[in-house]
């Protein structure tokens, strides 16, 4: 272990030992090195008992890597420090002491599917309608209560508006009682129960506070309320706690992370030594300047300025494309140029985007160019469950004999057609030589099933008959809209009301654009479109010695680095996301997401945005992201497929949440076609048609998240222009 290799700030962070400390570690500043060196220094140089050192990380991978690094720095053999995730640490505590909470030590830990099954049982016992209140949504809210360290007895029902959250609060104590009767905990309980244990048994808390003389917490900006409480409980007496993190990389607010934990650490731990790691070892100075100027506009942050001894580097390229297809073609062309002319490998380059739905166009263009790629942290577009489900409906309409597609959708969304009923119908079909659909049509007249099951199957067949009529009388785009609506898929995702369900709805919205592009623009048929999606898999196994190009969301890319990064969709509505426009905290997190994306790049950074983009089967005009205005002209080179490229004028975010970004299209009023709006009930949407003027102005708005098209009177709708 060579401390001389550390810079002055890293050296200070490693050698500081007594009292609380906070290491504000900027992107690429050697954070992991500092943590491992600090642990090794405590054990080797200060002769601290390894078992009195507790290091907490957020992933098993990070914990494993840290253990290996520390092991390599220490003498072989002997005890090791405690290095684990929050959940692993808590599980270890509970296996020893959970009897204090009335559980036996052989308790089960329920996974996501187990939890969902138990929630459904509890809903049935509590007579809660699964149609009105989806189990996934209620479980998501219960998880939120636990992450905020709110126990059932601490809930304030009067402060909640009626809806899924209120119903989840009512179910929460029932669910917890059911867990206890099964001698089981769910994943969130591991943290909440450990914190409760330390609160209710002071002698136990004091024992572990004395045991762990030194506590280190990595990625502290990502901690939630219960994790923060655990750290506090373990450091009340000894107080040698060191937290490491970067508030500028706090991007998980949606899953409970609270940036205030790191921002308020000095206040909560008086006498804290603050050490800032600002020297970056990853990126060029131009990239750091661009990233720093974007995130510097946030109000909730610790002031810091990243710098590097690396070269100034190439300017950041900002490209304005005509549409999403030309944007993807630009990215593809530049990737090929980087590989062929500058010697980059595909796996040294990454394409980043704000939402999973944006991968679709990129995937299409990459396949045509025969560039091998992989979607990291998710499935390729046409492999995503919701996309395959909706396409299965359309396949059945074209080919009623397709039993595989039919079995996929017969109970999706759930409509009470169980496995046993379907097996009986299949057996009947086999004996009669019928297709599955023919058998479903004969269930009633043959009295194969009970009245309830027969009625449910008849309703499903009725849906298919209706869709068949639409298929024969309408164009593919209208059919797709009808499939998503009439099948109940849109309503299912809307009622589920989780981040996952909203992302799935975004993928279905993107499917509109795919159908429009491949069917209408190329004069193709629905059959040809479905054939093209089936052929996607055949092009995916390209063997290339230059590796595979990774595609991922900005949330997925955190902690990674690449020689070159393409950040696409730099438009108001995508980055920053439309959902953030009415919330200052969310808007600042969007800026941090942008910062994280920029700082993944080592040598080259490319930003792109489209002047117009297909969405929901329609084409709308977009303005470049406001974040681009923060980047100094001396580090960014602008390019465009058209000669009239100009940036939008600078704007500052206002707490009034009244940000206005308008269409580039000519407009006669503030509600021009393409204007993005926010409705108090239906959420964010886009004006797709208008009629009348002034007091008689009527708007047709396409709302996301399953609400679809709505006709509204402009003077009564209480719309906020985004």
- Which residues are catalytically annotated? 31-32, 218-219, 249, 600
What is the CA 355 to chain-centroid distance, rounded? Answer: 8
Question: What are the backbone dihedrals phi and psi of residue 311, each rounded to the nearest 5 degrees, phi first?
Answer: -65, 160
Residue 486 CA to residue 38 CA, distance in Å, equals 60
* Residue position matching structure tokens 């062309």: 333
Partnered with residue 604 across adjacent β-strands are 564
Residue whose tokens read 């809307």: 494
CB 696 within 8 A of CB 661: no
* Residue 56 near residue 86, CB atoms below 8 Å: yes
SS3 category, 140:
helix
For residues 624 and 320, is the Cβ–Cβ distance under 8 A?
Answer: yes
Cβ atoms of residues 309 and 41 within 8 Å: no
Nearest CA to 257 out of 219, 291, 217, 292 is that of 219
Distance of alpha carbon 281 from alpha carbon 650, whole angstroms: 31
Query: Encoding tokens for residue 242?
Result: 């060191």
Whole-angstrom CA distances from 680 to 155, 473, 520, 683 are 26, 36, 34, 6
The Cα 24–Cα 220 span in angstroms is 10
Measure the CA–CA gap between 33 and 68, rounded to whole angstroms.
12
Helix 489-496 to helix 476-486 angle (10° resolution) is: 50
81 in Cβ contact with 50 (< 8 Å): yes
Q: Cβ distance 215 to 22 under 8 Å?
A: no
With vertex at residue 313, the alpha carbon angle to CA 308 and CA 317, rounded to the nearest 5 degrees, is: 120
C-alpha torsion 533→538→540→546, nearest 10: -140
Tell me the C-alpha distance between 331 and 362, whole Å. 8
Q: CA 418 to CA 354: how far, in whole Å?
A: 38
The residue whose two tokens read 């970067």 is 246
**H-type helices in 260-413, by residue range?**
260-263, 265-268, 285-295, 324-342, 359-368, 385-398, 403-409
Total residue count of the chain as it appears in this document: 722
């Amino acid at each position: 272990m060579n401390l001389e290799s550390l810079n002055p700030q890293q050296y200070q962070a490693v050698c500081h030992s007594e009292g609380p400390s906070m290491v504000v570690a900027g992107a690429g500043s050697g954070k992991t090195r500092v943590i491992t060196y600090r642990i090794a220094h405590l054990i080797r140089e200060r002769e601290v008992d390894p078992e009195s050192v507790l290091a907490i990380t957020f992933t098993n991978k990070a914990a494993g890597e840290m253990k290996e690094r520390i092991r390599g720095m220490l003498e072989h053999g002997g005890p090791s420090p405690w290095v684990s995730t929050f959940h692993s640490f808590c599980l270890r505590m509970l296996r020893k002491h959970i009897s204090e909470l009335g559980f036996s030590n052989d308790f089960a830990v329920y996974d996501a599917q187990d939890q969902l099954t138990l929630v459904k049982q509890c809903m049935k016992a509590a007579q809660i309608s699964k149609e009105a209140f989806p189990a996934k949504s209620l479980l998501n809210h219960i998880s939120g209560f636990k992450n905020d360290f709110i126990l059932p007895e601490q809930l304030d029902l009067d402060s909640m508006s009626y809806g899924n959250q209120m119903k989840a609060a009512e179910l929460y104590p029932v669910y917890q009682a059911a867990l206890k009767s099964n001698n089981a905990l769910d994943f969130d309980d591991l943290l909440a129960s450990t914190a409760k244990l330390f609160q209710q048994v002071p002698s136990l808390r004091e024992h572990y506070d004395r045991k762990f003389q030194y506590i280190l917490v990595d990625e502290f900006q990502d901690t939630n309320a219960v994790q923060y409480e655990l750290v506090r409980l373990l450091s009340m007496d000894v107080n040698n706690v060191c937290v490491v993190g970067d508030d500028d990389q706090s991007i998980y607010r949606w899953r409970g992370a609270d940036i205030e934990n790191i921002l308020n650490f000095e206040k909560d731990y008086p006498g804290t030594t603050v050490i800032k790691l600002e020297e970056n070892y990853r990126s060029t100075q131009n990239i750091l300047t661009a990233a720093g100027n974007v995130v510097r506009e946030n109000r909730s942050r610790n002031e810091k300025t990243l710098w590097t001894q690396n070269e100034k580097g190439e300017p950041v390229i900002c490209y304005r494309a005509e549409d999403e297809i030309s944007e993807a073609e630009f990215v593809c062309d530049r990737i090929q140029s980087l590989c062929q002319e500058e010697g980059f490998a595909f796996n040294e380059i990454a394409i980043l985007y704000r939402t999973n739905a944006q991968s679709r166009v990129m995937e299409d263009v990459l396949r045509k160019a025969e560039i091998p790629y992989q979607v990291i942290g998710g499935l390729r577009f046409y492999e995503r469950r919701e996309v395959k489900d909706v396409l299965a409906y359309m396949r059945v309409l074209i080919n009623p004999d397709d039993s595989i597609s039919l079995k996929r959708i017969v109970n999706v969304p759930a409509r009470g057609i169980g496995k046993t009923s379907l097996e009986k119908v299949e057996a009947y079909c086999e004996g009669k030589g019928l297709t599955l659909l023919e058998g479903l049509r004969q269930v009633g007249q043959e009295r194969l099933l009970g009245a309830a099951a027969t009625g449910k199957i008849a309703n499903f067949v009725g849906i298919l008959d209706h869709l068949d009529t639409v298929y024969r009388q309408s164009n593919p785009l209208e059919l797709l809209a009808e499939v998503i609506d009439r099948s109940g898929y849109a309503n299912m995702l809307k009622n589920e009301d989780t981040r996952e369900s909203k992302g799935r709805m975004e993928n279905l919205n993107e499917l509109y654009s795919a159908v429009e592009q491949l069917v209408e623009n190329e004069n193709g048929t629905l059959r040809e479109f479905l054939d093209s999606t089936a052929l996607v898999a055949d092009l995916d196994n390209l063997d290339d010695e230059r590796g595979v190009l990774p595609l991922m969301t900005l949330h997925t890319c955190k902690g990674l680095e690449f020689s070159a990064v393409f950040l696409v969709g730099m438009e108001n509505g995508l980055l920053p996301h439309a959902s953030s426009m009415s919330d200052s905290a969310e808007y600042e997190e969007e800026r941090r997401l942008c910062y994280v994306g920029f700082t993944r790049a080592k040598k080259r950074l490319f930003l792109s945005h489209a002047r117009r983009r297909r969405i929901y089967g329609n084409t709308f005009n977009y303005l470049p992201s406001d974040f681009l205005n923060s980047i100094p002209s001396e580090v960014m080179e602008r390019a465009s497929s058209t000669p009239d490229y100009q940036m939008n004028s600078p704007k500052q975010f206002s707490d009034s949440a009244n940000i206005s970004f308008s269409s580039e299209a000519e407009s006669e009023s503030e509600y021009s076609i393409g204007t993005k709006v926010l409705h108090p009930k239906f959420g964010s949407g886009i004006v797709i048609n208008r009629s009348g003027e002034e007091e008689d102005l009527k708007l047709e708005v396409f709302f996301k998240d399953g609400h679809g098209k709505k006709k509204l009177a402009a003077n009564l709708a209480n719309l906020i222009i985004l």
